[in-house]
């Protein structure tokens, strides 16, 4: 695969995967890269509707840049082994057909599925958004009592670990795993300090790096209707509030922290 594959993954809904996926895809489009997007949560289809909304806006304003989008449904095979085989084959076929793209951004469901696990195994980068909540943290780690020294990998961490091994066996590739604290409240609390302490302790044991995402802002819910992002500022609105400016800075900082653009991976043209 010449394309670099970025997977947004978590086994919990409401963490902002689809919003992040769209912002990443559009940021790469504005840099001049050829971008494909894949929704392996086609049954719920939030990412697909976001792209469709963007397509409708493009009919009004030609400046809107579009990715090539595909949605995949999970296999309904009777057995797990058959399910895994069908999902792997379908995803392999799709990704092979997209090999001419520079980047492929994949959004996955907020639950466990064979297609989601297969997508993780093809990733070059896995981005896992988590809210500042011990419920979200529980998907990554089991904490005994109040001590951060009794950490154990939990459900989703084991999934990522297994898919890292599968990727290594398949093509000796490595997966860069980023856990991204997203939709943060504006107030710094004692809960956040304890949350960040445990998240940092876990990163050293399980092998991910930490990044900071977006604060909770109304603008993201508003943008979904038009399929636009913070990067489409000249198209989205003629009015810019202080909240919008702060959100764009958060996006800029996030893209820098993710460091997903390979300096040697140049687009055919640069429109930024």
Could you state, in order of their start, the residue ranges of all structural domains in the chain? 4-258
In whole numbers, what is the pLDDT of the chain averaged over residues? 85
Q: In the chain, pLDDT over 70 holds for what percent of residues?
A: 86
Q: For position 226, what pLDDT does the model report?
A: 92
Sequential DSSP letters for 61-125: -TT----EEEE-PPP--SSHHHHHHHHHHHHHHHHHHTTTSSEEEEE--SS--HHHHHHHHT-SE
Q: Give domain 4-258's CATH number out of 3.30.70.60, 1.10.630.10, 3.40.50.1970, 3.40.50.300.
A: 3.40.50.300
Q: Which residue has the tokens 């993710």?
A: 258
Nearest Cα to 220, choosing from 260, 184, 255, 247?
Answer: 247
Give the tens place of pLDDT for each residue, 185-244.
666 667 777 888 888 888 878 889 999 888 777 778 888 999 999 888 777 555 566 667
Tokens of 78: 């009777």
pLDDT digits (tens, 9 = 90+) for 72-112: 988 887 788 888 888 889 999 999 999 999 999 999 998 88
Q: Is the pLDDT of residue 247 over 50?
A: yes
Mind listing the pLDDT tens digit for each residue in 128-142?
A: 999 888 888 888 877
Average pLDDT for residues 13-38, to the nearest whole number? 93
Give Cα separations from 249 to 28, 63, 214, 244, 256 (angstroms): 17, 22, 10, 9, 11
Beta-carbon contacts of 9 under 8 Å, excluding residues fewer than 6 positions away, are: 17, 108, 116, 119, 120, 123, 126, 127, 128, 156, 160
Report residue 43 CA to chain centroid gap.
18
* pTM score over 0.85: yes
pLDDT beyond 70 at 269: no
């Amino acid at each position: 695969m010449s394309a670099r594959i970025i997977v947004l993954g978590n086994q919990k809904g409401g963490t902002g995967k689809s919003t992040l996926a769209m912002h990443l895809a559009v940021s790469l489009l504005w840099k001049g890269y050829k971008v494909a997007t894949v929704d392996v949560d086609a049954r719920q289809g939030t990412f697909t509707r976001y792209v469709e909304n963007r397509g409708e806006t493009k009919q009004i304003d030609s400046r809107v840049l579009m990715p090539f989008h595909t949605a995949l449904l999970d296999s309904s095979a009777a057995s797990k082994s058959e399910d895994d085989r069908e999902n792997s084959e379908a995803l392999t076929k799709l990704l092979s057909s997209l090999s001419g793209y520079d980047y492929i951004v994949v959004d996955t469901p907020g639950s466990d599925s064979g297609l989601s696990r297969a997508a993780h195994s093809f990733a070059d980068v896995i981005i896992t958004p988590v809210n500042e909540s011990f419920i979200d943290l529980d998907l990554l780690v089991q904490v005994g009592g109040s001590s951060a020294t009794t950490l154990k990998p939990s459900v989703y961490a084991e999934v990522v670990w297994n898919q890292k091994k599968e990727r290594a066996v398949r093509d000796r590739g490595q997966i860069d795993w980023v856990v991204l604290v997203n939709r943060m409240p504006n107030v710094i609390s004692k809960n956040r300090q304890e949350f960040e302490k445990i998240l940092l302790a876990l990163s050293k044991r399980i092998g991910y790096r930490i990044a900071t995402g977006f604060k909770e802002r109304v603008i993201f819910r508003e943008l979904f209707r038009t399929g636009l992002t913070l990067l489409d500022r000249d198209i989205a609105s003629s009015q810019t509030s202080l909240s919008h400016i702060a959100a764009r800075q958060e996006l800029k900082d996030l893209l820098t922290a993710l460091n997903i653009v390979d300096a040697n991976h140049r687009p055919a043209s640069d429109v930024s």
